[in-house]
Structure 1
């Protein structure tokens, strides 16, 4: 896997993946795009969400929506690395089993989400979830 990041101006950069996709990063006080750390946070959420959705679909759960609310704490001084990260899944659907959601979140955390598994070597990561019934 390869990528490149090019400085545009000020505190704005554009990353280009080897698959040809572009992402804007901005670290300025008046930023117009996520910072690199925000991207890491969202990447953990996206990676884990892909797993949870896939596992729930394979379990034939009637899921209509999955969101993950991410919260992180950072070290107070440079480098301001993440010290804690929580992924809270809100799964909506019809008759979705809490047991299946718990299993999906656990499998993602322990086996499949490469982003979170990489981060957990230095970050305390916790997971939680709730199921919302849709009529």
Structure 2
């Protein structure tokens, strides 16, 4: 796997993936940037959501469940000192649909978190999750 990142101006960098997709990254105004794109740290949280989301959708399809809507919210807490890595990450999975089995959804999430999600497994952070079905928190 390979990507290319080119400095554009000020704190902006344009990343290009091997298949040609581009992402503009920028620092926030507070950090000397223009805030024209997500920061690299925000992209890490998005990558966690995308990776685990793909895993979960693949597993749910194999389980023959249908979801009407699926949203993932990821919150990260960073260390105070440099390098300001993520120390804690909380993921909230929100599922909507009819006849969704909470146990099967939990199994799909656990498979992603414990086995398949290479992004989350690449991080040195404590990661925990919650999930809802049709707005109801599942315990």
Common topology (TM > 0.5)? yes
Deviation string for 1:25-46 (max 9, x for gaps)? 0014130100000001100010
Q: Tell me by how many angstroms 1:68 deviates.
A: 0.7
SS of structure 2 residue aligned to 1:19: coil
1:41 maps to what in 2? 45
Number of residue pairs the alignment of both structures matches: 131
1:126 maps to what in 2? 128
Deviation string for 1:37-83 (max 9, x for gaps)? 00011000100001111111111112111111111100012211100
SS of structure 2 residue aligned to 1:63: coil
Distance 1:82 1:50 in 2: 22
Quick check: 1:57–1:63 contact (8 Å CA) kept in 2?
Answer: no
SS of structure 1 residue aligned to 2:111: helix
Q: Tell me by how many angstroms 1:118 deviates.
A: 1.2
**Bigger Cα displacement from structure 2, 98-107 vs 51-60:** 51-60
Unaligned runs of 5+ residues in structure 2 are: none
Structure 2 length normalisation: TM-score?
A: 0.90
SS of structure 2 residue aligned to 1:47: helix
**Bigger Cα displacement from structure 2, 79-88 vs 23-32:** 23-32
1:117 maps to what in 2? 121
Higher strand share: 1
Structure 1 length normalisation: TM-score?
A: 0.93
Match of 1:52 among 56, 65, 75: 56
Unaligned runs of 5+ residues in structure 1 are: none
2:25 maps to what in 1? 25
Distance 2:28 2:9 in 1: 11
